[in-house]
Structure 1
Amino acid sequence: MRWRSAAYSATMAGVPQTPTTISINLVRPDSDVGSRILRDYYDDIVSRYHGRRATSAELDAVLLDEPSDDLVPPHGYFWAATDGTTPVGCAGLRLLPDALGEVTRVFVAGTARRQGIASRLLTGLEEVARSRGLSRLRLDTRHDLVEARRLYTGHGYVEVEPFNTSPYAEHWFAKPLD
């Protein structure tokens, strides 16, 4: 089931459009679109991590080990970018105590990259974070996700001291939202 929030619709209006038919909607991670794009996301990062194509069993295991069920209100949000009915990207926002938000699951499929989709997802996510009263966003990523690190620094995120002990985190970023 797909759903949108009024705040999301309003805040995404000012985000530059890509020259494609890409639409971005707030969805549940366990929806058909959400499940498909999360599997693609994990296929990409698990394959990169192992230096080979991820197996179906590995993807099933990581989907169980790294649930996204908290990326729904009131704990968070999850957006999917689609080209028609094909999911091509996603981004999640986890709402944490003390006006802090955590950016997670930012991904664009290889066939849809270099069209500004990741920037649209991140810019819209930041607008929603501001509208929810968050004052700072943080995220972590791996060293091999060079495109992600470039995206984050291009959007004003700066490297900070580690804030978790995830075995998959090698770079930690934060951005004030004032």
Structure 2
Amino acid sequence: MDYVQVALTDPEVVPLLTGLRQEYETRYGHGAGDSVLDVAASEFESPTGAFVVLVDGGTTVAGGGIRRIDETTVEVKRMWTNPDYRRQGHAIRMLRELAGLAGQLGYRTVRLETGFAQPEALALYRGLGFVEIDSYGPYEHASAFELDIDAVSNTPRH
């Protein structure tokens, strides 16, 4: 398996966005999947952002992106793991990869939001030591988290 830095519009990202959209529709209801398009693709581009996928042969296993919030803070968005590859540590490794890229870009803090219908994500972020903060995005009932980039980079490997 290889981590590949791509543009949000690249073909490797299509399965991720499709899967994420379907997952949001299932968990939150009709129309919820439209949120995967609420951030311009350019926000995930260098020099202030990035998008990474984990590819196994021709299969997109996992992915996620980072985008700038301010000079020291980056937001992780579009985190998703293919259901056939879940519970194998890919989300933790993807967060570590994204945090490493963010650190290279000069950021010090990782911030993210997730929804109430994603208990696996809530447990993951809490388990990794993310601190719950006030919701900052447009999503109603979202849980927001923040963590020092060095702490993400040093999470135990599973």
Give TM class, smaller chain.
Answer: 0.7 to 0.9
Partner of 2:146: 174
Partner of 2:52: 79
Aligned mate of 2:127, from 154, 160, 168? 154
What secondary structure sits across from 2:45 in the alignment?
coil
- Measured against aligned partners, the alpha-carbon deviations of 1:89-112 in whole angstroms (never above 9, x if no partner) come to 111111222311001111101111
For the pair shown, the structure with the greater C-alpha radius of gyration is: 1
| TM-score normalised per structure 2 | 0.83
| TM-score normalised per structure 1 | 0.75
Unaligned runs of 5+ in 2: 151-158
What secondary structure sits across from 1:70 in the alignment?
helix
Say if 1:147 and 1:161 are closer, same or farther in 2 by CA, change over 3 A.
same
Say if 1:81 and 1:102 are closer, same or farther in 2 by CA, change over 3 A.
same
Shift of 1:69: 3.5
Q: Between Structure 1 and Structure 2, how many residues are aligned? A: 150
Unaligned runs of 5+ in 1: 1-21
CA separation in 2, counterparts of 1:146 and 1:32?
Answer: 29
Matched, 1:127 2:94: no
Say if 1:66 and 1:101 are closer, same or farther in 2 by CA, change over 3 A.
closer
CA-atom RMSD in angstroms:
2.1
For 1:68, the aligned partner's letter is A
Matched, 1:30 2:30: no
Aligned mate of 2:18, from 16, 39, 60? 39
